[in-house]
Amino acid sequence: MIPFSPPRIDQKIIDEVVDTLNSGWITTGPKTKLLEKKITEYCGHESTLCLNSATAGLELMLRWFGVGKGDEVIVPAYTYCATANVVIHCGATPVFADINSDFNISINEIRNIVTPRTKVIIPVDIAGYPCDYNELNALVQTKQIKKMFEPVNSIQKQLGRILIISDAAHSIGAEYYGKKTGNLTDITVFSFHAVKNLTTAEGGAVCLNLPMPFNNEEIYRELCVKSLHGQNKDALSKSQSGNWRYDVVEAGYKLNMTDIQASIGLVELQRYDSDMLVKRKSIFDSYAEKLSKYNWAIIPEYESSFKKSSYHVFLMRIANISESQRDQIIQKIFEKEVSVNVHFIPVPMLTFYKSLGFGIKKYPQAYKNFEHEISLPVFYNLTETQINTVVQVVVSSVEEIIL
């Protein structure tokens, strides 16, 4: 069986994890702080907070901004449920926007659904392909949109507009007009989950890039407190001689990353551009070249004159099929011992969100992309022979169903 997306665990990673285990410091400590510094240097934003998941980062930033009951947060209909779940957790209302054919959120759709209750927009870089951030950043600065904004606390008043939190769970290393994700809008949140390009097994990071007069380093320190039970000193600080006494200044959360996780990330980040992204791009290029011969194959957009993907998920689509036919094709592929997936079931189609009154009919492009989509295996150790097998299996499975 060709797997879908196993992590790369090689000797360099094992050695770094063993070094951490032998160091006597396995929770949040020097390696987590070093990873934060290295991510900041890599992406070019102002400050980074590493956490136990991207989901934690999204919710932490919504709560920092004061999002709560009565507020609305715009999210794409086509994303993983976490993007919307965090809005629910905060007591606010997710407002779904349809997408473009490239799977990313439609700026025109956003423009039509902003209301005075809108506090945040969460665009999602699906499959690692950046959203249209210049247009999105400009939209929230327009006179008409800013006039609608109704701040309810000092942070919102200081910003004076809708906050943009990029859900970049897929897109570390992607580029937009020569700038890396993390440095494209107000706040960016990465995921380092086991299946991600850059993994720490579980984990994530918040990239702070707020405009003046915000002090991003000061906000980082505030978020450190919020993410560790509201405690004003972490374990590393308390371990210093005579520095045991601490205080709890708010009822915070338990969201911190460990040094064991960070050690994996440090190895991967060091070789990310020169190794991981090169390999993943070669896989995308190989799939695109081989599949473009078939008129039913819709090759995903992963590069343009001003965008570069992180090559996270190869979102192949099959033209002119139904959802049922797509599912039959997937079953055929699995029977031939190739693992594939679907990214994602649109959120309005999920039982919980349907129970809140949402439905997919309002988001036709999201449904059209979903019913045609099959994600192909992409992982570091995928060989050219395996790529050829995947393509052969996909082609034969499609032709068994539609021809």
Domain ranges in the chain? 11-270, 272-402
H/E stretch holding 12 reads helix 11-23
H helices present in 92-132, as ranges: 107-113
What was the pLDDT predicted at 240?
78
Residue 278 CB: number of other CB atoms within 10 A?
12
Model confidence over 54-95: pLDDT tens digits? Answer: 999 999 999 999 999 999 999 999 999 999 999 999 999 999
For residue 190, whether the previous peptide bond is cis, meaning omega lies within 30 degrees of 0, is: no
As beta bridge partners, residue 205 has 50, 190
Strands 93-97 and 118-121: unpaired
Contact call for residues 398 and 317 (beta carbons, < 8 A): no
CA-only gyration radius of the chain, Å: 22
- Beta-sheet strand order (sheet of 307-308): 179-180, 175-176, 307-308
What was the pLDDT predicted at 123?
98
Contact call for residues 169 and 190 (beta carbons, < 8 A): yes
Q: What whole-number distance in Å separates Cα of residue 353 and Cα of residue 85?
A: 10
For residue 213, whether the previous peptide bond is cis, meaning omega lies within 30 degrees of 0, is: yes
Q: Among candidates 195, 241, 273, 228, which has minimal Cα distance to 60?
A: 228
What was the pLDDT predicted at 168?
98
- Six token digits for residue 337: 């011992």
Contact call for residues 363 and 346 (beta carbons, < 8 A): yes
Q: State residue 290 phi and psi, 5-degree precision.
A: -75, -40
What was the pLDDT predicted at 238?
66
- Burial string for 316-350 (b: 16+ CB within 10 Å, else e) reads bbbeebeeebbebbbebbeeeebbbeebbebbbbb
The sign of the dihedral angle between the CA atoms of 359, 365, 366, 368 is positive
Residue 297 CB: number of other CB atoms within 10 A?
19
- Six token digits for residue 23: 């160091």
Report residues of the chain scoring pLDDT below 70: 238
Q: What whole-number distance in Å separates Cα of residue 190 and Cα of residue 45?
A: 13
Q: According to CATH, what is the number of the domain 11-270?
A: 3.40.640.10
Domains 11-270 and 272-402 share a fold: no
- Six token digits for residue 82: 């976490």
Q: Which fold has domain 272-402?
A: Aspartate Aminotransferase, domain 1 (3.90.1150)
Contact call for residues 238 and 46 (beta carbons, < 8 A): no
Model confidence over 195-232: pLDDT tens digits? Answer: 999 999 999 999 999 999 999 999 999 999 999 999 98
pTM > 0.95: yes or no: yes
